[in-house]
Structure formats: structure tokens, C-alpha cells
Amino acid sequence: MSAHSFVRALASGAVAYLLAVLACAEDAPPSVEKLTQKLASSDAASRRDAAFELGKLGPGAKPALPALIKALQDSDKQVWSFSIAAITAMGPEAKDAIPALLDGFSSRGGRDREKRQAMVRSAYALTKIGPEAIPALIKALSADDSGLRVGAARALGGMGPQAKEAIPVLRENFGHAEISVRMEVVGALALIGPEAVAPVIEALGWNEPLQRGSAALTLAQLGDVAKSAEPALLQMLAKETDAGARAAALTALPKVCADPVKSAPLLVAAAKDDSEPIRHAAINAIAATRALRRPAVPLLAALLADPNPAVSQRAVQALGRLGPDAADALPALLAGARAAKGDAAFADALAQIGPAALPALLAALKQSDTAGGAWILRTLRGFGPPAVPVLIEALQQPDPAQRASAAGALGAMGRDAADAIKPLFALASSSDPATQAAALRALTALQATPAQLKPLLQAALASPVLELRKVGAAGMALLGGAASLGVDGLRELLADDDAASRLAAVRAFGELGAKAAPAVPVLVAKLDDLSMQMTVMETLGKIGPASAPAVPRLLEIAGKNGNDVKAVALTAFAGIGREAASALPQIYAALRDPSSELRVPAVPALASVESDEAKTIAALSTALSDETGRVRRPAAQALASFGERSRSAVPGIVAMLERDIDRVVAIEALRVIGVRAVPDLLKALAVKDPKVRVFACESLAALGPEAKDATARLRELLNGQPQPVQDAARAALAKIEP
């Protein structure tokens, strides 16, 4: 290599090295000194960035610690958040921040959410600082401010076993008046672990009930590492009279893995206590501890025969909580249910035991008479799908009443019982009218194939048996056969004893529409029946103007009830139309109501009832700016029905083009109304959606030379736009400038 080449290579290498150094210098993070200066900036964003970057440096940010401590007082919440995160990341190097972090536990001032966040974040920072913080935290456990005690306990608990020197002072807080302090201390001692067991066991014998209760709850959280506490807990339960402390000891007993044979009788005895906290703790303990369930089941089953009804009820509820594990108690539960005639508590317990109870229930059903089997069928209904095969088998019971009850139970399950449709069809031809009626009712409820079901219902309508005629009428009403029943048939059905049949009749009148006009008086009378009031209101609206006599009563009902009833009344007024003019004040009030639940139905009601076209257009135009799309869109559609006469509303509808959810409705309304104002169409041309711009171009084309003010904007659309937009713009220009 020549000397010249060598020098040139050396120079190139030097330049490359210099560039690399400069690049590294540009990428190097700001120094701690610069970030510290930035943390004092008057600009909040700069302070946030500085605190965030310092957090990345971990212990390396220690020189900035004084500035970060000061930043904990920053009014900007993000600066505070990033600063405390940076202090936390320093770990033990942040020990000088201990006093400031303890201030974060103060319960003085501020919003509850902010105080909670400050406590949690400060406690975590102190936990990361570690043993250096323990003396200050122990001192805080004796502070007057309960917030300091809560935060100190949280921080010490986070340190786990290394905070064992705090056990005596933590334990002193067992009797604190505030539950938040007691619960935090309990949690902290549990996290410290085995070292806390002996001191906590000792506290079980302290004088104050709160102290004993807190000690027991601590042992519960310590779990199996506190197994040595079993004798002390049993001794405490033998003499404890305070309900809260006793409940805590009952909770702890299974948690420390006490001998189930010893603890099960104590817990079962507590399950019948008059004190709700004691019962709750005992039953929860049994239900949550699998080892306790087997020895507890026979003891709870024995309580089912207790002469005190309250005790037997508690035993039933406890057995239900055990679910399938209580299967051994089935004979006692069935006997108790039979004696209590299917009390709901027994039905719930059997349902919670689940499929294991089904064979026993079916066997009991086969052995029972009609009255005795009714509660079993009601119970089976509560099982849902798992009971369907059992109920299908029950359809073959020799007792007609039991077959009918099984059919009724299947019908009440809805589509879950779809497998029962075929055997129910077979039962619908039974010679026993009650069985036949129950099967038809169930098939209707299960939505069996109408082509198969309608002939059976029509045959029932012609039956000499009144019950079958009622079932046939109700079924036909539900299947859309209102016309075949006629007004007179539906009136008869409306007087039926069965609530479902009456409701079916009301709905069927709605299907008849205006043809049901003769039934309006009887429907108005039914408005007093709260179980069907809203359905009757809907039906009156479907009947239409002939329901005008109902308007005063509808207004009265709406005035006395909440928004749900008012909304249905508004829908009814919309159906009645101009004949509901006396409801206009209520309709206008609903349009202005803060609740969209009323504004939504008020729009069609106004369009249908108001006879003054100018008032209608003005009110609907105002509704176009409603915050709810379900108000805006119907308003636009209603305005479209006025055609060109509602052109004053065009600007409001054009504004709707900006919203994705309104766009389709707005375009259709504008097409019907017709847009003649070029400024409105220029606004439409600015909408991002190509379909809107195409529509605007077509509307401008229809104006021809009148749209000359739009030519400049149209020329802009000839390039850089989707092809349909370009084509529409070109066609518009051809019409405007022939």
C-alpha cells in the first residue's frame, strides 16, 4: 500500500470513528444532573418526562433523590406517580425518602381514591427500601393517625419474614377501633409467616374480644403453618362468648388444618346458633373445607328433624351449600321436604346437590300420590336440563295428575326441554282431559312445530271440555291464530283463570289491530291489572285510533309511574295517532326529558299525534341534534315523510352525515327531501365517506348551473379520490358547466 493510500485509509477510519462517537453521544440518555434540573422546570410535561426517565435508572438515580422527594408534593398527579416510581426503583438507596413516604400514609385531606393510591404506592416503596425502613414503620404503628398504622402494616407485610421484629407492635394493634387497621395488621402478620404463629396464639387469650378475634383471623390467614394453634382455638371456642371472636375462631379452625373429627361437631353446632355471624362462619368453614364435609353431613342431616324450624332450615341451607358432597343426606332431605310439602329451601338444596339427587326424586315420585308428587315435580323444575330425562320418564306415571304436573314442569323449562316434545305430542292424545291440556300447554311453551301443533289446538277449541277449549284458545293466540278465535273468542280467553292465557289474549288482540276495536272497553278495564298493564298499553297502540277512549286513562297511568311505563304510553299514543291529541303536552315534555328512555319513543309519538305541521317539523329539527342516535335517526326519518316541506331541517340532517351510525338514514332522508342549498352540499363534500361525496355530487348535478359555486371543489375531487367520487364529480361538472 502506498503512503498516500495509507493516509487516506487512516483518515477515513478516523472520520468513521468520530461519526460513531457522535452518534452514540446523540443516543446517550440525559445525565442525572440534567434530569434533576428538568424536574424543577415550570413546565409539567418536562417534569413528567424527567421523573419517568429517572425511574429507568434505578439506584443510579440516587443523586436526584432530594429532587424526587420534593416532587412528591407536585400538584401534577403524573409527576407524583413517576417520582414515587423512581424512588421505589432505587430500593435501599432511597432510605432518605422514608419520612416523605410515611407522609403518604396520612389520612388528612384529599379524595379517598387518591389517599388509597398514595398509601399503596408509598407502602410498596418502603417495602423495597427494606430493613432500613423498619424502625420508622414500627414507630408509625403507634401513631394517632390510623392512616399511618394502615400504611406501616402494609409495608411491613410486604417485607415478609425480614420484618419479624415488628411482630410485637403489630400484635398490639389487634384491638384497634378501626377495622382497616385490624385487617391490615392481620394481613401483615400472615405474610411475615411462621415467626408470628406463637405470639399470635398467645393473643387468643387476651382480654378484649377484638384482640382475640383479630388473632384468630391471623391464624386463619397463616393457614397450615399455624397447625399448632388447634388446641388453643378449641380451648377458645369452649369458653368464648363474643359473637365476632367466636366467628373468627370458627373460620380459623379448618384453615389451620384442625382434626375434622374434632372440629366438625363444633362447626355443625355453630351452624344452628342464633347469631348470624357465627352461623355464617360455621357454614362457610364447612362448605370451603372438603375434609370437613363427610363428617359434617350426617350431623347436619340429623338437624333436619330438629323441632325448631329455624334450625332445620339452617341445616337445609348448609347441606345445599355442600352440593354433591351432601348426597348421603338425600333420604333425610327427601323426608324433610315431604313433611314440609316441598318448602323452597329443600327444593334449592336438592337442586344444588345436582344430578345425584335425580334418581332418588324419581323413586319418590313413583311412590307418592298426586298431592305428594306435586312438590317433587316443582323441585325437578329447578334442576334445569339435567332433570329433563327424569321428567320425561315421569310422563309415563300411572297417576294422570302426576303426568300433567310433569308436563307442566317441562313446559316451564322452555327450550331446555326440547327433547320432551315428542313424548308430549304422544301425551296430547291422552284420554284424560287434564293430561291432554297440560301436554298442549307445554308444547305451546316449548314452541313445538306449529304445523303439528295447530291441528291439535284447533281440535281442543272444539272440545266439550272447558279446560281444553281454554288451552286451545291460548295456544292459538300465541301461535298467531288470533283471527281464527275472533274478538269474542279472545274476550272469553281474557276471562280465563290462567294468567298466561289472559296475557296471550291481550297480545292476540294486538295482532287483530283495528279489527279488535270492540274489545277496547274491556282492555281499558284490564289496565288496572298491574301484571299485564304494560302489555295492554302496547296492544291499545296496535289497535290504533279506535283506542282513543283509552287516552285519558293512559295519561293518568303514565303520570303516576316511572319512565318505563311512560315510554310504553308514548308508543301507544303513536299508534293511536291524531286521536291522542290530549297527550301532546306529555309528548313535548318527553322530547325535552333528560332521559333518552323517553325522548326515543317521543319522536314517533309527536310525528303521529301532532296535527300542526310547522310545529312538528320544528320539534323534529331540534331532535336532530340530540346526543342519542336513537332519537336523531327516527327524527330524520319522520322529517323525510314531509318531503320538500321539511327543507328547513336539511342543515341538521347534513350534520348527521359526519356520524357513521347516522349516515345511511341521513342520506336516505336527504334524497327524499331534496337538497337545494349549495352550502349544505359543500359541507357534504367534505365528509370523508365516499358514499356521502357521491351523493353530494349527484345532488349538485341535479341543481345544474345553480350549483356554479361548487365547481372549484368539484374539480378538486377529480384527482386523488376513489373512482366513484371522481366519476360523480365529473358528471356534476358536466351538468353545471355544459
The per-residue pLDDT for range 705-718, each reduced to its tens digit, is 999 999 999 999 99
Q: Please report which confidence band the pLDDT of residue 3 belongs to, taking 50, 70 and 90 as the band edges.
A: very low
Q: How confident is the model over 254-276, as a mean pLDDT?
A: 86
In-domain check, residue 703: yes
Whether 479 shows a pLDDT value over 50: the answer reads: yes
- The per-residue DSSP string of 261-283 comes to HHHHHHHHHHTT-S-HHHHHHHH
Of the listed ranges 9-23, 147-161, 204-218, 679-693, the one predicted with least confidence: 9-23
Whether 567 shows a pLDDT value over 50: the answer reads: yes
Higher pLDDT, 676 or 458: 676
Measured CA to CA in angstroms, residue 593 lies from 253, 589, 599, 617, 715 at distances of 58, 6, 6, 19, 46
Whether 566 shows a pLDDT value over 60: the answer reads: yes
Give the residue ranges of DSSP H helices in 304-447.
309-322, 330-339, 344-353, 358-367, 370-381, 388-394, 400-412, 421-427, 433-445
Quote the CA–CA distance of 25 and 22 in Å, as a whole number. 5
Domain CATH for 315 = 1.25.10
In-domain check, residue 134: no
pLDDT of residue 51: 92
Distance of CA 134 to the CA centre of its chain: 43
Whether 360 shows a pLDDT value over 70: the answer reads: yes
Which of these, 212, 149, 136, lies nearest to 185 by C-alpha position? 149
Which sign does the torsion angle of CA 137, 140, 142, 146 carry?
Answer: negative
Q: How confident is the model over 52-66, as a mean pLDDT?
A: 93
Mean pLDDT rounded to a whole number for the chain? 87
Contacts of 520 by beta carbon, 8 Å cutoff, 6+ apart: 540, 543, 546, 547, 549, 550
Give the range of the structural domain holding residue 276, as residue numbers without chain letter.
259-367
Which sign does the torsion angle of CA 540, 542, 543, 547 carry?
Answer: positive
Q: At which of 318, 339, 367 does a domain end?
A: 367
Q: Please report which confidence band the pLDDT of residue 685 belongs to, taking 50, 70 and 90 as the band edges.
A: very high
Tens-place pLDDT, residues 431-459: 888 889 888 888 888 888 888 888 888 88
In-domain check, residue 390: no
pLDDT of residue 599: 93
pLDDT of residue 174: 94
Which residue carries 291529541 as its cell?
A: 581
pLDDT of residue 111: 64
pLDDT of residue 342: 62
pLDDT of residue 29: 58
Whether 2 shows a pLDDT value over 80: the answer reads: no
In-domain check, residue 333: yes
Q: Answer whether 711's CB lies under 8 Å from 680's CB.
A: no
> Grid coordinates in use for 564?
318505563
Whether 81 shows a pLDDT value over 80: the answer reads: yes
In-domain check, residue 352: yes
Of the listed ranges 63-72, 406-415, 525-534, 563-572, the one predicted with least confidence: 406-415
Of the listed ranges 150-159, 261-270, 273-282, 459-468, the one predicted with least confidence: 459-468
pLDDT of residue 25: 42
In the chain, the percentage of residues whose pLDDT exceeds 70 is 93
Which residue carries 389520612 as its cell?
A: 107
CA contacts within 13 A on the Cβ side of 699:
28
In-domain check, residue 348: yes
In-domain check, residue 96: no
pLDDT of residue 216: 93
Strands, E assignment, 509-631: none
Q: At which of 318, 350, 367 does a domain end?
A: 367
Whether 17 shows a pLDDT value over 60: the answer reads: no
pLDDT of residue 52: 94
Give the number of domains in the chain: 3
Higher pLDDT, 24 or 569: 569
pLDDT of residue 107: 66
DSSP letter assigned to residue 30 = P
Q: Answer whether 176's CB lies under 8 Å from 185's CB.
A: yes
Contacts of 23 by beta carbon, 8 Å cutoff, 6+ apart: none
Quote the CA–CA distance of 286 and 284 in Å, as a whole number. 5
Of the listed ranges 465-469, 579-583, 618-622, the one predicted with least confidence: 465-469
Q: At which of 367, 395, 427 does a domain end?
A: 367
Whether 234 shows a pLDDT value over 80: the answer reads: yes
In-domain check, residue 114: no
Higher pLDDT, 304 or 234: 234
Q: Please report which confidence band the pLDDT of residue 109 belongs to, taking 50, 70 and 90 as the band edges.
A: low
Q: Answer whether 693's CB lies under 8 Å from 684's CB.
A: yes
> Grid coordinates in use for 161?
419474614
pLDDT of residue 614: 94
Whether 738 shows a pLDDT value over 80: the answer reads: no
pLDDT of residue 481: 66
Total residue length of the chain: 738
Higher pLDDT, 348 or 72: 72
Q: Answer whether 571's CB lies under 8 Å from 538's CB.
A: yes
Contacts of 646 by beta carbon, 8 Å cutoff, 6+ apart: 617, 620, 621, 639, 640, 673
Whether 7 shows a pLDDT value over 50: the answer reads: no
pLDDT of residue 19: 43
> Grid coordinates in use for 686?
367534505
Distance of CA 284 to the CA centre of its chain: 26
